[in-house]
Structure 1
Amino acid sequence: MILVGILFSVAAWRLLPLRGDAEAAHVATTIGTLRSALGLSLADHVLRGQYQALQTLDGSNPMDLMLETPERYAGIVSGQDIGRVPPGYWYFIEESGLLGYRVRFPHYLLDSPADPVHLHWRVVMAFDASTDAAAPEQTSGPRPIGLRLVPQQTHPWPSPQGLEALQ
């Protein structure tokens, strides 16, 4: 019985850090999916010749582009209510145009910030800065060339254990 207890303790000690790796993978996968959705939305607008409508995507909620939002998406919240968002949930602050995620296990972040930790991203339009790059419908100004999901701060997760050996 004592041996089982010792084995359980050792296993738990070794497996607990994987929670941080799993959360980092979840966030990276969701952000990657949202970036793909933004790219598809940009392509759709360009193919339809809707260059002016692209401006409305700047600061928009990228979750609106998803056919299915993540299971842990709390929806639109007020900036003053983000403290009520449960750990591990995504949300959107409409007044600031920020997509947010409340970190579930912040002690696994490299800089070990105090709880609660909220990560934020913003949809930002990227433009071609060349002077002759106006789109056919545009009379002047730079041509939109992409949509970015830009992090508003950095709280990096460490690389998963053993990943260095694969690089």
Structure 2
Amino acid sequence: MAGPRETRAGAQAGFTLLELVIVVVLVSVLIMFAVDRLAALRVEAERVAMERTLGSLRSAVGLDVAEHILEGRVARLPERAGDNPIGLLQEPPVNYAGAFLGAEPPVPPGSWYFDLGSRELVYLPRAADAIAIEAGDRLRFALRLVYEDRDGDGAFDADNDRIRGLQIVSRTSYSWPTEPMSEGWAGKADVGPRGAAGL
């Protein structure tokens, strides 16, 4: 009498070499898709974290402008342009490396720092190869004065121009990958000026 794992001729039943090769190929393809998806999710997570930090900074700038308005210090807002907006937060982000003077300080990827020379807040992305950056490998932002240029000369004049507030603006053109990670994601970073806080 043949056992449960034996065939007619008494040989053991199991995988043939062809079946084993097919299983190995299928598992390899699944792993390849999983690794690719994981890399895309890491880029998406970095984008979300960076945008969250920018959102917090924009909110802090808005509160600072509101405080200037309530205290009747609107005329002092031009002094804030070029300041480090991280100082407006209750606590700096955990990936904030500090303020540096000089070109490209040795900060780890995924870090923010303030460039004292250019007066810009800089982000060094982890996924720099996945982001289309206009120039270099860093994203640069600055705190700028928003005003109504009544005399049309392109420069702020306290006697003629009306102050509108402060704004964090992107100094570098960039875009994130266009592969959607979720149904609600538009797929491209909004790199234009937004988040103006003011009058």
TM-score tier after normalising by the smaller chain length: 0.7 to 0.9
Residue pair 1:17, 1:108 contacting (<8 A) in 2 also? no
Match of 1:40 among 55, 63, 69: 63
Residue 92 of structure 1 aligns with which residue?
Answer: 114
Q: SS of 1:49's equivalent? A: coil
In structure 1, how many angstroms separate the alpha carbons of the residues matched to 2:182 and 2:31? 26
Match of 1:21 among 33, 38, 44: 44
Alignment of 1:1-167 (within 5 A): 6=28, 7-80=30-103, 82-110=104-132, 117-130=137-150, 140-159=159-178, 161-163=180-182
Q: 1:35 to 1:165 in 2, by over 3 A?
A: closer
Q: CA RMSD in A?
A: 2.7
Task: Indicate the percent of aligned positions where both proteins have the same amino acid.
Answer: 32
Instruction: Please identify, of 12-21 and 119-128, the stretch whose mean Cα deviation from structure 2 is larger.
Output: 12-21
Q: What is the total number of aligned residue pairs between the two structures?
A: 157
In structure 1, how many angstroms separate the alpha carbons of the residues matched to 2:65 and 2:73? 9
Task: Identify which of structures 1 and 2 has the higher relative contact order when contacts are C-alpha pairs closer than 8 Å and 6+ apart.
Answer: 1
Q: 1:29 to 1:165 in 2, by over 3 A?
A: closer
Extract structure 1 runs of 4+ deviating beyond 4 A: 1-5, 162-167
Q: SS of 2:175's equivalent? A: coil
Give ranges in structure 2 of 5+ residues lacking alignment: 1-22, 152-157, 187-199
Q: 1:3 to 1:34 in 2, by over 3 A?
A: same
Residue pair 2:61, 2:88 contacting (<8 A) in 1 also? yes
Higher helix share: 1
